[in-house]
Structure 1
């Protein structure tokens, strides 16, 4: 359940949930960027720069692909895999409480994409959980 004082704008809510990661995540992201850049995959900084140079909004470093009143879809495609993240607010049937739901989906195109996903999947789950816990604690 979201606290009453949580933002009602879906993009502001996504920013609050995703743009304040713990220090250990920033270290892992720098490591990820160094490793994947050597293999020709875009770094997080490059993903953000490319999106912003095209005039697209970003949350964390992911481009906003779609937006509605209650859902924001973020993502990026590359030659190895396509990534999507949904930040969705579900309102309870009595419309008194809001629930934040985050979902991710990945479509791998090839073996390097599958290896990359298998490598980061355990960290990904931990990062999403940690970001949500940090958001609710603030």
Structure 2
């Protein structure tokens, strides 16, 4: 399989994503793209669920470590957020609240006392006219206080590795097929 379908690469925040306009100021903004092979679904909700369901096992271990540390500061843990997923009134994708959906994008995230964040999973045309489709996962974070800024400083390098590894893993498994293919 060509490398554009297996390698997540850093890109600029896509201007068509709604998360570019969510916060007046951001303390972290990044985006990573990976090529989608022909026949792969273009449904951002389905693709986001697929990515989160098939993350490498080390990400779960890292999340557990993060939860043990942040619980000491009274921050939301993944375990706590998972309990919210059972609430039929709250639209959630795994541990994340769904903030919006369209035919090409789903935006999830969470708000907490130290920071708010949004993650976009966007299906878009590739960078060149003949480059096909790509999936872009973008993140923006707005910090409320010193704790939020310190948290982002520590977590940002891990966050970037998690996003890239999650995209690679999904590509290795094989993206869900478009309906009717």
Q: Which runs of 5+ in 1 are unaligned?
A: none
Larger RCO, structure (CA 8 Å, separation 6 or more):
2
How does the TM-score come out when normalised to structure 2? Answer: 0.70
Q: d(CA) in 2 for partners of 1:100 and 1:6?
A: 11
How does the TM-score come out when normalised to structure 1? Answer: 0.90
Is 1:101 the counterpart of 2:136 in the alignment? Answer: yes
Please, which moves more after superposition, 104-113 or 49-58?
49-58
Please, which moves more after superposition, 86-95 or 74-83?
86-95
Judge conservation of contact 1:83–1:105 (CA < 8 Å) in 2: yes
Q: d(CA) in 2 for partners of 1:38 and 1:54?
A: 29
After superposition, give the CA deviation of every residue in 1:86-125 in whole Å (9 maximum; x if it has no partner): 1001035869822101100000000111111111100000
Q: d(CA) in 1 for partners of 2:99 and 2:85?
A: 10
Counterpart in the other structure of 1:75: 109
Judge conservation of contact 1:62–1:76 (CA < 8 Å) in 2: yes
Following TM superposition, the consecutive aligned residue runs of length 4 or more in structure 1 with deviations greater than 6 angstroms are none
SS in structure 1 at match of 2:50: helix
SS in structure 2 at match of 1:64: strand
Judge conservation of contact 1:81–1:108 (CA < 8 Å) in 2: yes
Q: CA RMSD in A?
A: 1.9
Match of 1:38 among 48, 61, 72: 72
1:85-100 superposed matches below 5 A: 85-92=119-126, 97-100=132-135
Q: Which runs of 5+ in 2 are unaligned?
A: 1-34, 174-181
Counterpart in the other structure of 2:99: 65
1:23-34 superposed matches below 5 A: 23-34=57-68
Please, which moves more after superposition, 45-54 or 76-85?
45-54
Alignment length, in residue pairs?
138
Match of 1:119 among 128, 151, 154: 154
Q: d(CA) in 2 for partners of 1:56 and 1:91?
A: 31
Higher share in helix: 1
